[in-house]
Every structure is written in C-alpha cells, then in structure tokens.
C-alpha cells in the first residue's frame, strides 16, 4: 500500500509539475507577444522620429533660405547706398569748384536719399529679427504680431527701394549736370 501511495504522490507531483510547466509556457508565449509588440512599437517610433527629424530639418532649412533670400536684397541696397555716399563724397571733393545751386541741391537730395535707405535697412534688419521670432512662435498673439510686422516690412521695403532709386537718379543727374553735357 505504501508503494501505491508513493506512486500516487509521484503522479500528483508530476501532474503538478506539468500544470506549472503548462502555465509557464503560456506565460512565456504571452511575454513573447508583448515583447514582439514592444519591438514593433519601438520600430515605428524610431521611423517616426527619423521622419520628424527630417521634417524639422527641412522646415529649418526652408526658413533659413527664405529669410536669407529675403534679406539679401536689403544687404545689397545697404552696400550700394554706402557706396553711393562714398561716391558723392568723392564727387564733392573732386574739383576745385564748390557745389552751388542745382548741383548742391542734387547733392543734398542724393545724400539724404542714400542715408534714408541706410537707416531704414538697418531698421528692417531689426524688424526681420522680430518677425522671425513671431513666425516661429505658434501663439495667436505672435501670429497677429507677425502680420503687423509683415506689413511694416513691406512698407519699409518700399521706402528703402524708392529712396535708393531716387538717390541713384539724383546722383546720375548730378553727374550729368556737373559734366556740362
């Protein structure tokens, strides 16, 4: 009888071990599914992060190109206006005769136009900085500020271009009149 009891205990222990083994295998399968799901999510997140990084870089370069191109005209006008003032200063000191009458008026108008161009272009650079900050900020107030700054930039660009062209025309007229042609 004790032999049967020992066999029953062994069978019961084996049965218990088989049940535990079965539960452990089920738990292992469940954990493997979770692991696979997590790996899949991690892969998707990595792809999304790469896409997002490319998107951010693309927009960053687009903004840089846009603002760089937009400011290039102002830089050129600034340089040419400074050259125009240098030309006028050289022109005023070139001859023995002093500028009088119409020549003096044209000289003053041209100098003033170039100075206005220079001062406004410097202001445009400041407004451009504020505009860039306002555009990049997504708050509603910043967007309204960006619209206002955009209008100011357009007005300033018109003033700069008009003043520069007037200075250029006046300088050419001064040269024509002074040459006596």
The string of pLDDT tens digits covering residues 3-21 is 877 777 777 888 887 888 8
- Residue 131 pLDDT exceeds 90: no
Token look-up 């370069």 returns: 61
Identify the pLDDT of residue 50: 74
Nearest to 113 by CA among 81, 138, 78: 81
CB 75 within 8 A of CB 122: no
- Residue 90 pLDDT exceeds 70: yes
pLDDT range class, residue 95, cuts 50, 70, 90: low
Identify the pLDDT of residue 84: 92
CB 110 within 8 A of CB 88: yes
Query: Helix, strand, coil shares of the chain as percentages rounded to 5?
Result: 95, 0, 5
In sequence order, what are the residues at sequence separation of 6 or more whose Cβ sits closer than 8 angstroms to the Cβ of residue 107? 88, 91, 92, 99, 174
- Residue 138 pLDDT exceeds 70: yes
> What is the C-alpha to C-alpha distance for residues 66 and 148, in angstroms, rounded to an integer?
19
> What is the C-alpha to C-alpha distance for residues 130 and 150, in angstroms, rounded to an integer?
10
Identify the pLDDT of residue 96: 63
CB 80 within 8 A of CB 164: yes
Q: pLDDT (tens digit, 9 = 90+) per residue, 22-35? A: 888 888 898 888 88
CB 178 within 8 A of CB 103: yes
- How many domains does the chain fold into? 1
- Residue 91 pLDDT exceeds 70: yes
Task: Give the domain range for residue 148.
Answer: 2-179
| Residue 130, Ramachandran bin (φ over 0: left; ψ between -120 and 50: alpha; else beta) | alpha
In sequence order, what are the residues at sequence separation of 6 or more whose Cβ sits closer than 8 angstroms to the Cβ of residue 145? 130, 134
């Amino acid at each position: 009888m004790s032999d049967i009891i020992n066999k029953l205990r062994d069978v019961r222990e084996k049965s218990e071990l088989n049940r535990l083994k079965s539960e452990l295998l089920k738990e292992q399968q469940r954990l493997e599914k979770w692991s696979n799901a997590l790996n899949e999510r991690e892969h998707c997140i990595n792809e999304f992060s790469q896409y997002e990084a490319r998107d951010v870089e693309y927009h960053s370069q687009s903004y840089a190109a846009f603002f760089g191109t937009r400011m290039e005209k102002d830089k050129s006008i600034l340089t040419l206006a400074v050259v125009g003032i240098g030309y006028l200063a050289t022109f005023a000191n070139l001859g023995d005769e002093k500028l009088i009458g119409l020549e003096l008026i044209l000289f003053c108008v041209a100098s003033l136009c170039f100075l206005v161009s220079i001062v406004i272009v410097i202001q445009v650079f400041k407004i451009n900085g504020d505009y860039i900050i306002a555009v990049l900020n997504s708050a509603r107030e910043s967007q309204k500020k960006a619209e206002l700054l955009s209008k100011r930039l357009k007005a300033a660009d018109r003033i700069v271009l008009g003043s520069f062209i007037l200075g250029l025309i006046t300088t050419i007229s001064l040269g024509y009149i002074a040459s006596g042609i």
